[in-house]
């Protein structure tokens, strides 16, 4: 039987969304009346068909059953965890790299004093969680010794772990374990839990919330001609299979976030396809995180208008992602994004 996928589309936001939901003309995303949709796109590896929600009953019996099950996941209320509030969109995961070589801010916050100040700045600007990382995973980077990684982040963690809600950006199980014992609220593993085979045992033992990110290859080689049969559906299937595997080994909780991994083993075409069609991942039933901040796709599109901070491209892509119901954005420039969101909301609700 051909596999079909359901992508919620034609979203409404703000006052207009509330009015349509009240009239039962659109379906609220995760019971949030401020964002809703009135069409779905039914996708296979050979076809696409967009239909309005009032035409779903006209589908064949089996397809109608699947689409309705997907819509149930898309519209189901999300339970809050890890300091995130899923009654609102978006939540912001603030980026704190304490590395000398991260792609956009390497060396900027790799002293204790600067890192702590920046963490508080991110939080006070509106980040729900601060994502601290001691190993660069930019394209071309090489893995570092776990003792060095822990040395970079431990002095920061010990200073602020009881003062700020923290996420830990690491691929290594021993680093995860140490961070969890200090009260880390979320594990963010860019390898999709593939780098260290002990990671799954740590996450199972401590029942810690975590992010599954998709990445093709390792940071050292992931941008060497990345290839997919269909990047959107291949990555969807990766998450679907990974969740089934996690369930099979006894990780039963739903405190899981999925991240398609913009820029991790993807070229511009792949990244644009993923961002444009990001709402397909709602039918997996888990919150979506996107790391679009300052990414290379902004440079590739803007070309001569590129800047080091890439705030313009970050803000443009962030507003689009918000309009597609993405629950979490991983952001360097939290204050600037919050400014943009406030202006956007005021305009759309005027």
Task: Tell me the pairing of strands 48-52 and 32-43.
Answer: antiparallel
330 in catalytic set: yes
Q: Do 349 and 14 touch, CB atoms closer than 8 A?
A: yes
Could you confirm whether 205 is annotated as catalytic?
A: no
Q: How many whole angstroms separate alpha carbon 89 and alpha carbon 77? A: 13
Q: Are 89 and 325 in contact (CB under 8 A)?
A: yes
By the 10 Å C-beta count (0-12 exposed, 13-18 middle, 19+ buried), 58 is classed as exposed
Give the alpha-carbon dihedral of 228, 263, 188, 319, to 10 degrees.
Answer: -110
Cross-strand bridge partners of residue 329: 92, 290
Catalytic residue (one of 7, 295, 296, 310): 295
The 8 Å CB, 24+ separation contacts for 302-311 are 308/104, 309/104, 309/333, 310/104, 311/336
Instruction: Note the helical H segments in the chain.
Output: 15-22, 61-75, 112-125, 146-160, 173-181, 199-206, 231-248, 268-276, 296-302, 311-323, 334-348
Output the CA angle 233-1-71, nearest 5 degrees.
Answer: 55
Sign of CA dihedral 327, 331, 335, 341: negative
Q: Which two three-digit tokens encode residue 148?
A: 């060095």
Residue that is written with structure tokens 């305009």 in the block: 347
Pairing of strands 289-290, 48-52: unpaired
Q: How is the chain split among helix, strand and coil, in percent rounded to 5?
A: 40, 20, 40
Active site residues: 295, 330
């Amino acid at each position: 039987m051909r596999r079909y996928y359901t992508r919620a589309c034609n979203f409404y936001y703000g006052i207009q969304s509330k009015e349509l939901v009240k009239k039962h003309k659109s379906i609220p995303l995760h019971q949030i009346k401020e964002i809703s949709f009135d069409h779905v796109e039914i996708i296979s590896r050979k076809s696409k068909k967009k239909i309005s929600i009032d035409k779903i009953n006209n589908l064949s019996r089996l397809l109608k059953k699947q689409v309705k099950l997907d819509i149930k996941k898309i519209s189901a209320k999300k339970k809050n965890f890890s300091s995130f509030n899923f009654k609102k969109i978006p939540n912001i995961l603030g980026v704190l790299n304490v590395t000398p070589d991260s792609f956009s801010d390497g060396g900027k916050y790799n002293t204790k004093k600067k890192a702590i100040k920046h963490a508080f700045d991110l939080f006070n600007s509106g980040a729900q969680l601060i994502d601290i990382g001691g190993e660069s995973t930019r394209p071309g980077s090489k893995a570092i010794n776990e003792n060095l990684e822990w040395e970079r982040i431990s002095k920061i963690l010990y200073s602020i772990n009881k003062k700020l809600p923290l996420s830990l950006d690491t691929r290594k199980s021993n680093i995860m374990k140490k961070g969890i014992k200090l009260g880390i609220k979320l594990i963010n593993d860019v390898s999709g839990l593939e780098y260290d085979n002990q990671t799954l045992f740590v996450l199972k033992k401590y029942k810690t919330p975590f992010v599954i990110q998709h990445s093709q290859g390792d940071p050292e080689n992931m941008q060497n001609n990345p290839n997919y049969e269909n990047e959107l559906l291949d990555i969807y299937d990766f998450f679907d299979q990974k969740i089934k595997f996690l369930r099979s080994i006894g990780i039963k909780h739903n405190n899981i976030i999925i991240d398609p991994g913009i820029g991790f083993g993807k070229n511009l075409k792949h990244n644009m396809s993923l961002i444009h069609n990001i709402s397909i991942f709602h039918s997996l039933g888990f919150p979506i995180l996107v790391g679009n901040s300052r990414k290379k796709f902004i440079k590739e599109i803007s070309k001569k208008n590129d800047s080091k901070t890439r705030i313009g491209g970050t803000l443009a892509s962030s507003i689009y992602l918000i309009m597609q119901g993405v629950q979490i954005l991983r952001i360097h420039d939290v204050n600037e994004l919050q400014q943009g969101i406030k202006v956007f909301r005021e305009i759309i609700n005027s």
